[in-house]
Amino acid sequence: MQACNAQVNKILLIYYILIPILSFMRRGKLLRIGEFFLSMLLVIFGLAVSRWGSSVQIFMSVIIGTGFLIITIIMTSPRCLLSRRSLLGILHIPGFIICKPNISIRILLANIQEELIWRAAFVHLMMQLFGDIFLTVAAGATIFYIIHLPVMRPVVIAAHIEFVLFSILLYVFYIQTFSIIAVCLIHFIRNIYIRVITLTEDNN
């Protein structure tokens, strides 16, 4: 049984390695369907191996994680640093969620899917196969960054630095707490915060 589980883990890990390549390819309908079913399999696998975490653990993780996110965004974005409105963007998050519930729900669902696949499932696989935390964080953050390259603005170097730091932060927090709720909330707050900042800068 253990040998079978090890083989399944290796197959799933191969798919993780292929994801960055697939993200830059023009995929046909059949390949997209295959990707969808594999993603759903990893989501289910992530649900099976993830934990909720205690309420105190979740609260402290979200507070500390959000603080680190804001610091990394400010440090890596001069425009954000110079804009008082952008610095106060965190205060506009509740208003954005209330005024744009459809966008907020889509962002939240996408974040939950990514956290189940890239934190819960990936960390479990890597620790089962290699047992190395540093390798898990480095590999996970690198692959997670690469698959987002097609949708990132290539000329904004600061955005790439921020995203790498953000990826590392999520892995570190998940490995420390194993709370899927905490990393989902941190991811959600970050994406809403980025959206608020973007809207603020576009309006100025």
Question: pLDDT tens across 95-146, in order?
Answer: 888 989 999 999 999 999 999 999 999 999 998 888 899 999 999 999 999 8
Give the pLDDT score at 39.
85
| Cα separation, 171 vs 183, whole angstroms | 9
What is the overall mean pLDDT for the chain?
81
- Reported as a single tens digit per residue, the pLDDT across 177-196 is 888 999 999 999 889 888 88
What are the sequence ranges of the domains in the chain?
2-203
Name the pLDDT band for 154 (thresholds 50, 70, 90). Answer: low
Query: Quick check: helix, strand or coil at residue 127?
Result: helix
| Most confident segment among 80-94, 127-141, 147-161 | 127-141
The two structure tokens encoding residue 76: 């890596």
Q: Which of 49, 53, 64, 22 is nearest to 149 (CA)?
A: 22
Q: Which of 20-24, 118-122, 154-158 has the lowest mean pLDDT?
A: 154-158
- pLDDT top residue among 107 and 35: 107
Dihedral, CA of residue 27, residue 156, residue 96 and residue 58, to nearest 10: 80
H-helix or E-strand spanning residue 54? none
Report the greatest alpha carbon distance in the chain.
Answer: 60
